[in-house]
Amino acid sequence: MLTSPALNYNLLAPILIVLGGALLGVLVEGFIGRLYRARIQLIIALLTVAVSFGWVISIRSAQSQSAAVDSVSIDGGGLFLQGTILALAFVALLFFSQNDHFAPQASALPGSPEEALAISSGQQMTEIYPLVLFAISGMLLFPVAHDLITLFVALEVLSIPLYIVTGLARRRRLLSQEAALKYFLLGAYSSAFFLFGAAFLYGFSGSLSLSAIRTAAAVSGANQIFLLLGVLFISVGLLFKVGAVPFHSWTPDVYQGAPTPVTGFMAACTKVAAFGAMFRIFIVAFSSVQNDWRPVFVAISIVTMAGGAIAVISQRDVKRSLAYSSITHAGFLLAGVVALSKAGLTSMMFYLVAYGFATIGAFGIVTLVRDSTGEVSDLNRWAGLAKKSPGVATAFALFLMSFGGIPLTAGFIAKFSIFTSAYATGNIALVIVGVISSAIALIFYLRVVLIMFFKEPTDDTVTVAVPSFLVSTGIVICFVMTLVLGVYPNLLFNLANTMTALVP
Amino acid sequence: MNLLTLTMILPLFGSLALAVAPRENTQLIKLIALATSILTLISSLLILTKYKFGQTGFQLVESHSWFKVFGTRYAVGIDGLALALILLTTVLVPIVIVGGWNEAENGRWSIKTFYMLILILETSLVAVFAATDLFLFYVIFEAMLVPVYFLIGGFGRGDRAAAALKFLLYSLFGGLLMLAAVIGIFVVSLHQGPGSFDVTTLSHLKISHNTQDWLFLGFFIAFAIKAPLFPFHTWLPGAARSATPGTSILVLGVLDKVGTYGMIRFCLTLFPDASKTFAPYIIVLSLISIIYGAFLAIGQKDLNSLIAFTSISHFGFIVLGIFAMTSQGITGATLYMVNHGFSTAGLFLVGGWMIQRRKSSQIADFGGLQRITPVMAWCFFIAGMSALALPGLSSFVSEFLVLVGTFTRYPAAAVIGTLGIVLAALYVLILVQRSLHGPLQAGNEDTPDLNWREKAAIAPVIIALVLLGFYPKPAIHIIDPATSQVMAQASISDPTPLAGK
């Protein structure tokens, strides 16, 4: 006879609420007329995320390994990351309110008569909202999953909607579809690697649970070749998701091709989820063989920091360059992972928040700079932006300063703490490469500031769209967070510091 | 809130007041900026009434918790070294505002922005000297580059954007190296008790030789870029050519002193062993700076570049005095920082007025100004004489102290350094001869002499140059206890005079 598994609905509620909101969104898409649909979808999405966030706060001190049998572990670290994902997603969704970024009808082929018809009739599908909610639910599950199957399911739930929404850009449809296909194919490969690694780990330990893998790995004298193979393949899957060198090649294309609001969401929230999961897997399951994988991760961190920084200086497209900059940041975050300490986790979580807000804000601003055909992402055409719109240019400069780690921005505190944790665990090489990469990346950030502030506007066709209320709210939130976390980091940092518990 | 914090935030309040002031009323904006800077000056002078002269250690201390997890604090306090430089700052800012009354007019942005940036820069300059918490110091050290970047890039001349970018990149690169060292010393302090950024606590740490060397280099390179010392000086001439005179005064006169200040405050006291290890090499670099800067100054055709290269030579002297590690050397170097501030201010102010009148910064375009504009010419002459360290003017005292202090430990270095004085005479006298004397150059006939506003701006500079030249005792009285404190912390003692043996 089958017994139904015991589920702790209270602890799973944040994930379930978002899933419910997504399903509701699907129904709305089917049954509500197009006049109100966009507005209702947006309200549902925002409300869902807000309620879920509230729920996370209400269970903030919970700690349980059996929220869903043994598959999900709710603890301080996991809840902090869930809260981060939800907060970032909320702000990112504000930018989705600019409907004109998305294809009117996703199913229509680019340039086909159906598409022309959809545009001329003013049709606008809004399936993007439920898709994003599905992705968020996967992201929420990913950092709290405690066995390999759940991890894989979460990975797919977060990835597949993202493949679709990447292809939904309204303009430059072919580029967008190419990006989606690229993302999908490479993502499928990396998922396969992940699964392959999971199989090895199962073969090694006879279990899929992270705790059981740890127990098995701790037995000395066991033949660890399958364990190490498993670690290797799982790492490939995870490093792909965070865009670390040498698994980064999709990042610039996908970031460029995806609709810009989606890029912001993807860049910020996927990283939070993937780094959260990575930290949990490596500290819970693989910490006993850290001497084997740590040097590799140090090396990957170094090439990721340096590679991203070097690639970014020659970029001329804003979205591509932000993609390379995000690769550099993945390298910095990996420095927190290899620290494998409480301080490492705290600073990684703080870093994710600081980076997330600055990223969403920066991509949000990219959505505003336009000419008659849509967004302008060619950097040279941003010349003199400060003359056209001082506020927007200042905000963008602040986000860049935060990426560069200039003091009094959140990025500085984040970088400082993550380097400190790396230095304290003896990875001094990481710190040195880190500061040098920061210096190299700064060349690019400062060049953008120079272009915006000190170049005469040459292109009158480029204008800064007047942001709607929701969009300006989003930018203001990102701006304030970047500044406040830089000047007075105590509140969030202390919170992160008290929420580092990870159940074994 | 004590006087020190008040002095620090007054300019910030001033810039906030400017932010809400109407953009069109430029006269009001300038008056607000001037009033703020004078209030700040008064507040800094009031510090003198509270300050106990002759006492070592930090005074007017104030400390609040800031970023708890890392134990960083908002901690300020001053000793003689910091006090001297804070006074230099607060005296120079009103002079800059009065002297460059119209210099913001050709800017990319409004006059309001210019004065807001100047006042924010003043706040950060006072704060950077007052900080006794390494983290706080670092944050301000980096953050204050941003107003300077916009001051040069937004209000300068010529290829200002490129000059500003070069300045910022050099400084940030040095700053990031220093960040690694800051993290390093913090981790060392974590291993030896509760982690701290307090400068005094950090100076008691026991750091292994090898670690000291690396951390020292992290700090030193950052400071050498800022100072600027050969071979890290290449950003300076461009910045000096492009910046407005007021900005140049604040950058070369005060901001660059953060570098030499940091060498004393951090390099010597936190890493005494490494300082001793590297001192001979640094002495060589400073000698190269002295001679190389002087030679390049002789060859300059542009007035601003010339002043910039003389500064490289003078910074060589300051660094020489510091790393001679004698009490005369360090006191002399500190005094030199103040004196160089005033003599550079004099040169840039008068030079700026000359350039503004002639609409050219080429030295060859001037000539015969002595007859047309005697007051301006005399002022320029006096500032120039101070730069060549004429006895009776302030730089002489400090240059003498530096050379005497160096001689007791490194006689050869002192002898080579003296060459710098000879070369200084050469570049200053050539400059004076070409620009002030000789036949009147065409185009200079109608040059007006200084007006009352310009006289009011240059008067305090000349008074300071003369006063500190004839009666340097009060200044030395302020600086001396700080020097002996540094010597004690770094456990260095003066070499015994050779004659006694």
Q: Tens digit of pLDDT for each residue in B158-203?
A: 788 888 888 888 888 888 889 999 999 998 888 888 888 888 888 8
Asked whether the predicted pLDDT for residue A116 surpasses 90, the reply is no
Picking from A420, A434, A439, the nearest residue to B172 by CB comes out as: A439
Quote the minimal CA–CA distance from A443 to chain B in Å: 7
Chain A nearest-CA residue for B71: A490
Which pLDDT value is given to residue B433?
Answer: 84
In degrees and rounded to multiples of 5, residue A180 shows phi and psi of -65, -45
By CB neighbour count within 10 A (0-12 exposed, 13-18 middle, 19+ buried), where does B491 fall?
exposed
Task: Note whether A388 contacts B: Cβ–Cβ < 8 A.
Answer: no
Which pLDDT value is given to residue B501?
Answer: 42
Picking from B160, B168, B177, the nearest residue to A446 by CB comes out as: B168
Do the chains contact at B180 and A416, CB–CB below 8 Å? no
Asked whether the predicted pLDDT for residue A178 surpasses 80, the reply is yes
Quote the minimal CA–CA distance from A293 to chain B in Å: 25
Q: Where are the alpha helices (DSSP H) in B235-392?
A: 235-242, 245-248, 257-262, 269-270, 272-299, 303-324, 327-358, 369-372, 374-387
- CB within 8 A of A87, min separation 6: which ones? A53, A353
- Extract the tokens encoding A471: 């969009």
- What does DSSP say about strands A374-375 and A369-371: parallel, antiparallel, or unpaired? antiparallel
In what helix (H) or strand (E) does residue A463 lie, and over which residues does it extend?
A: strand A463-464
Asked whether the predicted pLDDT for residue A101 surpasses 80, the reply is no
Let me know how long chain A is. 504
The strand ranges marked E within B56-121 are: 59-67, 72-78
| Residues A426-463 pLDDT 10s | 888 899 999 999 999 998 998 898 888 888 887 777 88
- Residue B225 corresponds to which amino acid? I
Q: Hey, where are the domains in chain A? A: 10-498
User: CA A362, A367, A368 angle in degrees (round to 5)?
Assistant: 100
Beta bridge partners of A317: A378
The residue with greater pLDDT, A109 or B29, is B29
A369-371 β-sheet, strand order: A374-375, A369-371, A463-464
Picking from A405, A419, A453, the nearest residue to B183 by CB comes out as: A419
Which pLDDT value is given to residue B500?
Answer: 44
Which pLDDT value is given to residue B497?
Answer: 62
Q: Hey, where are the domains in chain B? A: 3-493
How far apart are the C-alpha atoms of B304 and A360, rounded to whole Å?
A: 44
- Residue A410 corresponds to which amino acid? A
Q: What is the ipTM of this complex?
A: 0.88
Picking from B138, B165, B190, the nearest residue to A450 by CB comes out as: B165
Rounded mean pLDDT, A25-44: 88
| Residues B326-384 pLDDT 10s | 888 899 999 999 999 999 998 888 888 888 888 877 877 887 777 788 888 888 888 88
Quote the minimal CA–CA distance from A169 to chain B in Å: 36
DSSP structural state of residue B440:
P
Which pLDDT value is given to residue A1?
Answer: 63
Chain B nearest-CA residue for A448: B165
In what helix (H) or strand (E) does residue A464 lie, and over which residues does it extend?
A: strand A463-464
Which pLDDT value is given to residue A394?
Answer: 92
Res. A110 pLDDT band, cuts 50 70 90: confident
Residue where the block lists tokens 């004078």: B38
Q: In chain A, what percentage of residues exceed pLDDT 90?
A: 53
Task: Note whether A189 contacts B: Cβ–Cβ < 8 A.
Answer: no
Tens-level pLDDT at each residue, chain B (501 residues): 688 888 889 999 989 988 888 888 888 888 888 999 999 999 988 988 888 887 888 888 888 888 888 888 888 888 888 999 999 999 999 998 888 888 777 777 888 888 889 999 999 999 999 999 999 999 999 888 889 988 888 888 878 888 888 888 888 888 888 999 999 999 888 888 888 888 888 888 888 888 889 999 999 999 999 888 888 888 888 888 888 888 888 888 889 899 999 999 898 888 988 988 999 999 999 999 999 999 998 888 888 888 888 889 999 999 999 998 888 889 999 999 999 999 999 888 888 888 888 887 787 788 777 778 888 888 888 888 888 888 888 888 888 889 988 998 888 888 898 888 888 888 888 888 888 887 777 777 777 877 888 888 888 888 998 888 888 888 888 888 888 888 888 888 877 765 544
Q: What are the CA-CA distances from residue B238 to residues A365, B248, B269, B344 (Å)?
A: 33, 11, 33, 16
Chain B nearest-CA residue for A412: B139
Q: What is the per-residue DSSP string for B265-281?
A: IIIIHH-HHHHHHHHHH
Do the chains contact at A407 and B169, CB–CB below 8 Å? no
Which pLDDT value is given to residue B498?
Answer: 58
Asked whether the predicted pLDDT for residue A100 surpasses 80, the reply is no
Q: Which residues 109-138 on chain B approach chain A with CB closer than 8 angstroms? A: 138
Task: Note whether A445 contacts B: Cβ–Cβ < 8 A.
Answer: no
Which pLDDT value is given to residue B391?
Answer: 84
How far apart are the C-alpha atoms of A239 and B70, rounded to whole Å?
A: 30
- Extract the tokens encoding B358: 């002639």
Cα–Cα nearest to B363, from B307, B293, B434 = B434
Quote the minimal CA–CA distance from A311 to chain B in Å: 18
Picking from A423, A436, A493, the nearest residue to B187 by CB comes out as: A423
Which pLDDT value is given to residue A299?
Answer: 93
Res. A168 pLDDT band, cuts 50 70 90: confident
Task: Note whether B70 contacts A: Cβ–Cβ < 8 A.
Answer: yes
**Residue of A420, A425, A498 for testing the chain B interface, max B β-carbons within 10 Å:** A420
Chain A residue numbers with beta carbons less than 8 Å from the beta carbon of B170 are none
Do the chains contact at A420 and B142, CB–CB below 8 Å? no
- CB within 8 A of A411, min separation 6: which ones? A354, A355, A358, A401, A402, A403, A404, A405, A482, A486
Chain A residue numbers with beta carbons less than 8 Å from the beta carbon of B164 are 450, 454
User: CA B321, B325, B328 angle in degrees (round to 5)?
Assistant: 60
Res. A414 pLDDT band, cuts 50 70 90: very high
Q: What is the per-residue DSSP string for A373-433?
A: TEE--BGGGGTTHHHH-HHHHHHHHHHHHHHHT-TTSHHHHHHHHHHHHHHHTT-HHHHHH
User: CA A264, A266, A267 angle in degrees (round to 5)?
Assistant: 65
Do the chains contact at B138 and A401, CB–CB below 8 Å? no
Rounded mean pLDDT, A248-273: 93
Number of other CB atoms surrounding residue B201 within 10 Å: 17
Task: Note whether A436 contacts B: Cβ–Cβ < 8 A.
Answer: yes
- CB within 8 A of A32, min separation 6: which ones? A40
* Distance of alpha carbon B158 from the chain centroid: 24
User: CA B264, B265, B269 angle in degrees (round to 5)?
Assistant: 85
Q: What is the mean pLDDT of chain A?
A: 89
Which pLDDT value is given to residue B242?
Answer: 82
Residue where the block lists tokens 């009490």: B327
DSSP structural state of residue B253:
I
